[in-house]
A and B are shown apart, each in its own frame.
Chain A
Amino acid sequence: MAEENGVVLLNFWVSPFGQRVKIALAEKGVDYEYKEENLMEKSPFLLKSNPIHKKIPVLIHDGKPICESLVIVEYIDEIWRGKTQLLPSDPYARAQARFWADFIDKKVFECGTRLWKCNGEAQEQAKKEMLEILKLLETELGDKKYFGGESFGLVDLVLIPFSSWFYTYETCCPGLSVENECPKLLVWTKECKTRESVAKSLPEPSMVYEFVCKMKKRFGIE
């Protein structure tokens, strides 16, 4: 059976968590089979591979499933050594990278979801929080080319998928401009997108916006 050997990725195209895994696999030059899941009708294979959360992304390596995007990325980094190291070697630097990856995980998606789902006061609050989060990240980036310094690494690949959502956040929340508020961060996104791994893994911002509009209609959100 195809799933018993090699690498398979179960994903949903718009998920920034799935895109991290795509970028990691591309950075390492790993060949894999991509399976697009319909989250309204999850496949038996997904439910069998991730029985606890029933979520994507799931990486299946030689028949063994690995779940949770950050766990998957660290696994990829460990298994496919040699090419592009995603985490630094030094334990302290690794701890810093994990800290910021975890911060992004805890904060960006949830706040971003409130930006497009909510209105009025709640949306204003989400906008304020998103700007605080992005400014903090911009301070951490400083004048470096990437979050890890000269090399593209964990924090970069964890954050960059959210750049496809900036257009959606700005359109749903007038007055929010990532370019005006965080110009250095925007320069960093452009730098990341020159990498083939990133360019071929991220959806067009207009497609993300179209997806969100469909979601809003489905949930009856204005």
Chain B
Amino acid sequence: MEAEEMELFGIWSSPYVLRVIWALNIKKIKYKYIEEDLNNKSNLLLHYNPVYKKVPVLVYKGKPICESMIIVEFIEETWKNDSIFPKDPYEKAKARFLAKFVEDKLSPPMWRFFTTKGKDQEEAYESFTDYLAILERELEGKEFFGGENIGFVDILLGCMSYVVPIYEEITDFEIITKEKFPLLHAWMQAFLSSDIVRDNLPPRDELLYRYRKIREAFLSKDN
């Protein structure tokens, strides 16, 4: 396949875009990457994603697919090599369930934790550490959520592997340590050092700067 057949619209800092990049890497698919400016969205992006006007958008042979989880499933179903999902329907359902759990339950309190302080921040911290405990249990006996290889849940959760250390540095909280969550801690290292992820991460310094600015903006809104 020529790279022109596959285009990915994204922004460098988006964890949702990275999910798609990691999936494309697993399947060894060539693509053309287009960096968007969210303050000045291209006409093409607005044409391809009129409902949400967001990235990522994958365009394959001129046809757009939107929403990162849906894009990853499309990639899985179109290219049969290097499976991202388990074959067994029940195991596949479990993977989809856990992915939804990460999106709907884990992410909101983590964001709340990062963008608040005081009692609000503490409550959010309690909330998401309970959810991290659920993920810790899921990893028992496995290196990745997908087993021996990176799978759907790993891809969905993956951004946590580089965002959590940034949150820890900025907020001075301990979130995932070897003592608290040994399996998740090991998972983060394995994920970050894997072939498909290692060279496909946003630059740390720029991300640190960006997240600091985000936290400052949220905290100053409350004053």
Q: List the interface of chain A (C-beta within 8 A of B).
A: 52-53, 61, 64, 66-68, 70-72, 74-75, 78-79, 91-92, 94-95, 98-99, 102-103, 136
Contact = CB atoms under 8 A, between A and B. Distances in A.
Contact of B70 (A75, A79, A95): A95
Interface stretch (B10-18, B39-47, B92-100, B149-157): B92-100
Nearest to B74: A95
A75 B96 CA distance: 10
Given A52-B101, A52-B134, A92-B74, A78 B89 contact: yes
A91 B74 contact: yes
Contacts of A102: 67, 69-70
A61 B88 CA distance: 14
B20 interface: no
Given A78-B92, A102-B67, 5 more contacts: A68-B100, A75-B90, A75-B93, A92-B78, A99-B66
Main secondary structure of the interface of B (DSSP, over half): helix
Interface residues on B, range: 20 to 34
B51 interface: yes
B70 A67 contact: no
Contacts of B89: 75, 78-79
From A52, A70, A72, residue with most partner B Cβ within 10 Å: A52
A66 B67 CA distance: 23
B97 A66 contact: yes
A68 B97 contact: yes
Interface string B61-100: 0010111011101100110000000000110110011001
B71 A95 contact: yes
B152 to A, nearest CB: 12
Q: Which of A61, A79, A99 has the most CB of B within 10 A?
A: A99
A92 B63 contact: yes
Given A52-B134, A68-B100, A99-B66, A94 B92 contact: no
Given A71-B100, A102-B70, A103-B51, A95 B65 contact: yes
Nearest to B58: A95
Contact of B74 (A68, A71, A94): A94
B93 A74 contact: yes
Contact of B51 (A78, A94, A136): A136
Contacts of A98: 67, 70, 73
Contacts of A79: 89
Interface of B: 51, 60, 63, 65-67, 69-71, 73-74, 77-78, 89-90, 92-93, 96-97, 100-101, 105, 134
B67 A68 contact: no
A64 B90 contact: yes
26 contacts: A52-B101, A53-B105, A64-B90, A66-B97, A67-B97, A68-B97, A68-B100, A70-B100, A71-B93, A71-B96, A71-B100, A75-B90, A75-B92, A78-B92, A91-B74, A92-B60, A92-B63, A92-B65, A92-B78, A94-B77, A98-B67, A98-B73, A99-B66, A102-B67, A102-B70, A103-B51
Nearest to A62: B90
A102 B71 CA distance: 13
A79 B93 CA distance: 11
A91 B100 CA distance: 20
